């Protein structure tokens, strides 16, 4: 049997900075050798719809849902069964099942052999779901499926799934609940030893969810001499031992959800604990270990007004952040935020991810203290000004960015890629023009 994996893009526009879709390397490793497997990444290449295959498997996020549905339609017209999985199908199964033959809710790994057996025996089920989430062990991704693809020279690694926090806007807790699962450190080490590149990105939602297990991982990373980036909560700034081990094990940068400078917003997003830590001191302390900080902000909560954006921009430049992401608040289905805004009749073009009027960067909801147009423009202006040449040069002169040639090179490369991406993504239509 031949299986075709597809990673959809947001729209038809091709990307220049795509990273490996890790899920398909995991599924490739779990696919029996008698099956042929091929990957097409819609972000990089054209999809050959007329190529013979027995099953199409598509991973779907909310921003790629419209495009995924259009791709699935092309295969289903050719009588090829399509199965979808990922965050979006799990959050809105009744919607997704209208556009495919089968869906997987939550994790797919331990269900994958059953799915393949059902396809072979012509008994594909409408819905596959685990009774309990499976342990993350004995799985080493098979990256041979990426051969010939022009991905960034940065490997995606996963150590854990889930997060110890449950923020109002985040789909992680809706997807995994309170579950926190970790791969055995031994498995992670085996995987890393066989990688082509020395640059790693841990895609864990919060790698600091379990201090002792993180410490075990860091100690195991030290002799591997890799360079890595992670997502982590700001409370790590209080832990000298962990910061020291992060530095020693090759941590280049960490991504921290600062979210807002206003306590009322943090309370509303159920992240009040963030305000107990002084951001500037925490950033400086992490920088002192030679670790660069990428700060992410969520803009558009109810206590944001016209002055909020300037405050965050000034803070981000003044503190010489490595990068800053000014994310317009995006209500995605399945989150408490989405349910609240829907109940308040504040969603625009609901469901926005399927609406032809929605373009990337446009408001999906009605802000409390701004017009939708003011909100859209302010988010875009923050991105442009933070990534201006003068801002990049000012922020470069942070001792963490100049700690080594690697940090210097990484700082400039990441900033200029981000600078290019601002105009590349803004205004992109979701979906497809396929007929």
Pairing of strands 160-161, 181-182: antiparallel
The position carrying tokens 């449950």 is 166
Cα dihedral sign, 101-104-109-114: negative
Model pLDDT, residue 432? 67
Contact 228, 250 (CB under 8 A): yes
Model pLDDT, residue 435? 38
**Rounded to an integer, what is the distance from CA 206 to the centroid of its chain?**
12
pLDDT < 50 regions, the chain:
434-435
Q: How far is CA 33 from CA 3, 28, 38, in A?
A: 12, 9, 13
Token pair recorded at residue 236: 């790590």
Q: Is the peptide bond before 351 cis (omega within 30 degrees of 0)?
A: yes
Question: CA-CA distance, 238 to 276, in Å (whole number)?
Answer: 12
Model pLDDT, residue 276? 67
Contact 286, 280 (CB under 8 A): no
Domain 153-425 adopts which CATH fold?
A: pyruvate-formate lyase- activating enzyme (3.80.30)
The position carrying tokens 């409408």 is 126
Q: Tens digit of pLDDT for each residue in 209-254?
A: 999 999 999 999 999 999 999 999 999 999 999 999 999 999 999 9
Question: CA-CA distance, 238 to 244, in Å (whole number)?
Answer: 11
Cα dihedral sign, 426-151-68-333: negative
Domain residue extents for the chain? 2-129, 153-425
Model pLDDT, residue 434? 45
Q: What's the whole-model pTM score?
A: 0.94
Please provide the CATH number assigned to the domain covering 2-129: 3.40.50.280
Angle between helices 389-396 and 306-318 (to 10 degrees): 40
Token pair recorded at residue 431: 């979906």
Q: Which residues pair with 227 in a beta bridge?
A: 199
Question: CA-CA distance, 192 to 155, in Å (whole number)?
Answer: 9
Q: Tens digit of pLDDT for each residue in 161-208?
A: 988 777 888 888 778 877 889 999 999 999 999 999 999 999 999 999
Start-to-end CA span in the chain (Å): 28
Q: How far is CA 282 from CA 166, 265, 298, in A?
A: 22, 20, 19
Secondary structure string (H, E, C) spanning the chain:
CEEEEEECCCCCCCCCCCCCCHHHHHHHHCCCCCCEEEEEECCCCCCCCCCCCCEEEEECCHHHHHHHHHHHHHHHHCCCCEEEECHHHHHCHHHHHHHCCEEEECCCHHHHHHHHHHHHCCCCCCEEECCCCCCCCCCCCCHHHHCCCCCCCCEEECCEECCCCCCCCCCHHHHHCCCCEECCHHHHHHHHHCCCCCEEEECCCCCCCCHHHHHHHHHHHHHHCCEEEEECCHHHHHCHHHHHHHHHCCEEEEEEEEECCCHHHHHHCCCHHHHHCCHHHHHHHHHHCCCEEEEEEEECCCCCCHHHHHHHHHHHHHCCCCEEEEEECCCCCCCHHHHHHHHCCCECCCCHHHCCCCECCCCCECCCCCCHHHHHHHHHHHHHHHCCHHHHHHHHCCCCCCCCHHHHHHHHHHHHHHHHHHHHHCCCECCCCCC
Q: Give every CB contact of residue 248 below 8 A, 6+ residues apart in sequence.
A: 218, 222
Model pLDDT, residue 6? 98
């Amino acid at each position: 049997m031949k299986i075709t994996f597809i990673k959809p893009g947001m729209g038809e526009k091709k990307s220049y900075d795509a990273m490996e879709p890790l899920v398909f390397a995991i599924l490739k490793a779990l696919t029996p050798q008698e099956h042929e497997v091929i990957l097409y990444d819609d972000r990089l290449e054209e999809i050959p719809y007329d190529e013979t295959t027995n099953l199409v498997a598509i991973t779907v996020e909310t921003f790629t849902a419209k495009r995924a549905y259009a791709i699935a339609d092309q295969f289903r017209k050719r009588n090829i069964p399509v199965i979808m999985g990922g965050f979006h199908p799990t959050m809105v199964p009744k919607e997704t099942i209208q556009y495919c033959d089968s869906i997987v809710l939550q994790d797919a790994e331990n269900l994958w052999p059953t799915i393949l057996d059902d396809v072979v025996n012509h008994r594909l089920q409408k819905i596959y779901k685990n009774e309990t989430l499976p342990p993350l062990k004995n799985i080493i991704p098979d990256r041979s499926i990426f051969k010939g693809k022009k991905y960034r020279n940065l490997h995606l690694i996963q150590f854990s799934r889930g997060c110890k926090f449950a923020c109002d806007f985040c789909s992680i807790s809706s997807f995994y609940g309170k579950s926190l699962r970790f791969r055995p450190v031994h498995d992670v080490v085996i995987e890393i030893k066989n990688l082509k590149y020395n640059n790693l990105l841990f895609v864990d939602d919060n790698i600091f969810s379990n201090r002792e297990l993180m410490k075990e991982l860091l100690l195991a990373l030290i002799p591997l001499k890799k360079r890595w980036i992670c997502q982590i909560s700001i409370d790590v700034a209080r832990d000298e031992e962990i910061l020291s081990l992060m530095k020693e094990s090759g941590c280049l940068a960490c991504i921290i959800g600062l979210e807002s400078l206003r306590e009322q917003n943090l309370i509303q997003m159920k992240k009040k604990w963030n305000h107990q830590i002084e951001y500037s001191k925490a950033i400086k302390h992490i920088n002192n270990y030679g670790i660069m900080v990428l700060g992410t902000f969520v803009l558009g909560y109810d206590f944001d007004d016209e002055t909020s954006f300037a405050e965050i921009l000034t803070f981000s430049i003044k503190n010489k952040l490595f990068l800053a992401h000014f994310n317009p608040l995006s209500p995605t289905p399945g989150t408490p935020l989405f349910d609240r805004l829907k109940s308040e009749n504040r969603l625009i073009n609901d469901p926005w991810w399927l609406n032809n009027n929605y373009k990337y960067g446009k408001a999906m909801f009605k802000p409390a203290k701004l017009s939708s147009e003011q909100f859209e423009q302010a988010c875009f202006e923050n991105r442009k000004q933070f990534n201006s040449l003068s801002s990049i040069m000012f922020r470069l002169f942070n001792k963490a960015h100049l700690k080594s040639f690697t940090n210097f090179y990484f700082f400039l490369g990441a900033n200029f890629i981000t600078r290019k991406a601002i105009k590349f993504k803004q205004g992109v239509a979701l979906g497809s023009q396929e007929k």
